[in-house]
Structure 1
């Protein structure tokens, strides 16, 4: 093993992991501390993590996350900083449906992650008994919520299981590929958690959230995409890192991380890289392996983080043989027994896809939830056929696609069970005891792209001696709930 860099001098920072969090951390280091030498090490031969730009039938598409929550500033601001400002595009349509009780029905408005403020506009989605159950929420005594609670369990107790199974589950499950009855309300829907603690009834709390939003009168799109796909973002950040003198090495797995009197030694293949600061921006299980010697308590916590796997099917059709319902796509409650959990009409949603080939219609479907293994064991042809079967049942689409792609994301989404916020706090406390070390990524403060960028910025600021960002993440754990971000 050779030691390739032993200088720490004015500062050498190593970032482990080349997903959007690691790239954002490297960029932040170079911007906030000019003169710092930055080396980013990525195990795979591709940058971007779960942001992955690809193509189908000659049209550029995303093979991973496809949108960013624009109401959070971090991801959109980063895109502008790295030269993508003129390529930012909102969805051409944001009208979605839910495939439930045998029909595509408009997604009800006026909810917080599927939790309604009243029973209006839910006819057809819920049964008559389900509608009456919501109205009884105001008559129930307050529910003790404690330090944390599962979203599904709490909402079912207040509003009935139908609300969870037909509204909350498809929305929340679409973000985390998880089980609403296990997912932490405090970590996954902190707005709802605080409202539930502050109000006697849950529907009253939801209406209070809506009233606050109305007073704030936020304008502009809720979501944002990038021409060519949000998979362009990590590539542009990487270019900006290199332009500022940063070094990026792909195909370089890190096998060990050790403290030294001068700082840290990072073992990467046959090389040992010396650094005075290290940002670990890899999935929880990989971080656990790296931290096992120097931070065993943090490693044990990270090793317990569970992940869900999923697969994304991208299908291209000739537009003249397709007659789809209006809107950007639909969500699917698992209670109805269908295979896919969502479908996006990508050519409808993103104008740049339609512009690249007006004669082509691109659709996306996804499968895979926490605990599901059988479906992901199917071969690509089976997954495409299962998607086509559900699309036929939901929309009547019976045409044969001209091209298909299947992208598998094994252990793609970390799970946030009850108590996740406390686990993250313990990890950060233990890691914070080691000078020059910080962690960031989707396993901590939210799985969306803005959340990962915010996590990266907080980690860099912590290393610079400013813990404000980390404190803010602790108080406000989830930065974004939309679009699975890379580590």
Structure 2
């Protein structure tokens, strides 16, 4: 079977790799000048910065581990770094374990006690679809849903937890299916954040190097069904016919191509909202308090458009020149971007509010991630189902909007898809 994959981000490249491993003839078209989509590691004066994910959750024997091993991608783990939530005008440590949360000032005592009852809560059927906040309230209590969840979700999806579907975090339903979240986490084991040597951008680069045919700078503009059941894609002066075409594209891009070939799917995909976010990278003199730190997220009511900051130089020491600390601050998303966050001066003022000892930067740069993050609002499951079921034979659609927001979600979803 011949397959043409449209989209050379990590989803399309990993899908192509799986199919090639099965002996299929696969070609990948990527509209951009280089592969990777939003997952790129770009050079920056003696180091680098990420345009997409900062790392990936890894555990031995999982889809991430199997793929990294198969494509010979070395990686390293920074370990367990300190994390904070900005709340009440100060940074509050987030303990690494549920037991540690019992002594944390993040939540009142009643919320902590209710959280400990999670293993005894009944399992709810998967249907009908449940909201994310409702799911957390049901399993862990209202305190966790209102005091801890908002900052965690804002830091991952740049959107308010109360508007999202539980499908925004696929692991939650998987864990509950084992009887409880505690049981699911215990059975699944603990995952560790890892970073490939050279940055996350090495993952798509290494995948592309393992594939027989990857064409960058080639955007598909039209799809046509052929009388023999095959498909023709054309664009950039190129024409390809294949037994199957896989659209490894954001939902809004796939919707355009599917307009006449699969109108039901196109309508469902066009209805999936996406979120844009501004990224500010900055380098400073090191701070002892952030020496071994993942970073901090801000409780949305207090963030007012400032979602939080990571410390890439802790996760990946090669990202910054020796003797400097690198920060990555997230702005806007579905929360909006107030006027004071349009410039670095406004970003710095917010940073210094939460970290008063932070010095002036020696370098800054700004990136705009336009429509980079799918927003799985309540009803997302029905939209994805309608999109997939409306596809005619020989067409498929793959995306983090289908499998989940994280790299781990994508790679696990692809293993199921290709089986």
Alignment of structure 1 residues 321-340 onto 2, 5 Å: 322-325=287-290, 326-340=292-306
Cα 1:157–1:264, aligned 2, differ >3 Å: closer, same or farther? closer
Equivalent position SS for 1:366: strand
- Tell me which residue corresponds to 2:181: 209
Mapped partners of 1:138, 1:31: distance in 2: 41
Equivalent position SS for 2:86: strand
- Give the alignment partner of residue 68 of structure 2, picking from 79, 83, 92: 79
1:218 aligned onto 2:155: no
Equivalent position SS for 1:181: helix
Equivalent position SS for 1:108: coil
Q: Deviations over 1:123-154 (max 9, x none)?
A: x2234675687689999999998512212245
Mapped partners of 2:139, 2:246: distance in 1: 42
Cα 1:363–1:141, aligned 2, differ >3 Å: closer, same or farther? closer
1:47 aligned onto 2:35: yes
- Tell me which residue corresponds to 2:169: 188
Q: Which moved more, 1:421-430 or 1:226-235?
A: 421-430
TM-score by length of 1: 0.76
May I ask how many residue pairs the two structures share in their alignment?
A: 416
Gaps of 5+ in 1: 1-10, 112-116, 199-204, 462-468, 470-487
Cα 1:212–1:362, aligned 2, differ >3 Å: closer, same or farther? same
- Tell me which residue corresponds to 2:385: 425
Cα 1:77–1:347, aligned 2, differ >3 Å: closer, same or farther? same
- Tell me which residue corresponds to 2:3: 13
Equivalent position SS for 1:324: helix
Mapped partners of 2:64, 2:118: distance in 1: 38
Q: Which moved more, 1:164-173 or 1:364-373?
A: 364-373
Q: Deviations over 1:442-483 (max 9, x none)?
A: 110101112223444555x3xxxxxxx4xxxxxxxxxxxxxx
Mapped partners of 1:139, 1:279: distance in 2: 43
Mapped partners of 1:155, 1:429: distance in 2: 29
1:152·1:180 contact (CA, 8 Å) conserved in 2? yes
- Give the alignment partner of residue 59 of structure 1, picking from 47, 70, 76: 47
- Give the alignment partner of residue 284 of structure 1, picking from 242, 246, 251: 251
- Tell me which residue corresponds to 1:363: 327
Shift of 1:29: 2.3
Cα 1:308–1:271, aligned 2, differ >3 Å: closer, same or farther? same
2:305·2:335 contact (CA, 8 Å) conserved in 1? no
Shift of 1:406: 1.4
1:240 aligned onto 2:210: yes
Mapped partners of 1:405, 1:80: distance in 2: 34
- Tell me which residue corresponds to 1:309: 276
Shift of 1:264: 0.6
Mapped partners of 2:406, 2:297: distance in 1: 18
Equivalent position SS for 1:83: coil
Equivalent position SS for 1:416: coil
- Give the alignment partner of residue 120 of structure 1, picking from 90, 102, 105: 102
1:119·1:134 contact (CA, 8 Å) conserved in 2? no
Shift of 1:89: 0.5
Shift of 1:240: 1.3
2:63·2:415 contact (CA, 8 Å) conserved in 1? no
1:281·1:440 contact (CA, 8 Å) conserved in 2? yes
1:340·1:390 contact (CA, 8 Å) conserved in 2? yes
Mapped partners of 1:41, 1:70: distance in 2: 28
Shift of 1:236: 1.2
1:308·1:368 contact (CA, 8 Å) conserved in 2? no
Equivalent position SS for 1:13: strand
Mapped partners of 2:68, 2:125: distance in 1: 42
Shift of 1:307: 0.6
Q: Deviations over 1:21-47 (max 9, x none)?
A: 11112222222115x2x3211112221
TM-score by length of 2: 0.88
Q: Deviations over 1:387-425 (max 9, x none)?
A: 322221112234221111212111111111223223322
2:107·2:144 contact (CA, 8 Å) conserved in 1? yes
Shift of 1:49: 1.3
Gaps of 5+ in 2: none
Mapped partners of 2:416, 2:261: distance in 1: 21
Q: Which moved more, 1:449-458 or 1:101-110?
A: 449-458
Q: Which moved more, 1:413-422 or 1:253-262?
A: 413-422
Q: How much is the aligned-residue C-alpha RMSD, in angstroms?
A: 3.2
1:443 aligned onto 2:396: no
Shift of 1:230: 0.8
Q: Which moved more, 1:150-159 or 1:259-268?
A: 150-159
- Tell me which residue corresponds to 1:4: none
